[in-house]
Amino acid sequence: MKAEASLAFLAYNMKRAINILGVKEIIRRLTAKRVSLTSSFPKYTMKFGNIILYVA
C-alpha cells in the first residue's frame, strides 16, 4: 500500500513539474542530475551508453 501511494504522489508531482517547466526542461534537469550523481560516486557507478548501473 505504501509503494502504491508513493507512486501516485510521484506521478502527481511529475505531472505538475511538466506543466510548470515543460518536458524539455524536465529532461534537461534529470540528465544533468544523472551526470552529477555519477561524477559524485564514480566508484559505485558503471556507464553503458544511456544505461547507468549503481553497484552496492
- pLDDT tens-digit map of 4-22: 888 899 899 989 999 999 9
Q: What is the dihedral of CA 19, 25, 31, 32, to 10 degrees?
A: -120
Say whether 55 sits in a helix, a strand or coil. coil
What cell does 52 get?
A: 547507468
Question: Does the reported pTM lie above 0.85?
Answer: no
pLDDT at 3: 85
Contact 47, 38 (CB under 8 A): yes
pLDDT at 27: 85
Domain residue ranges in the chain: 2-54
CA-CA distances (angstroms) from residue 55 to 21, 32, 50?
32, 20, 16
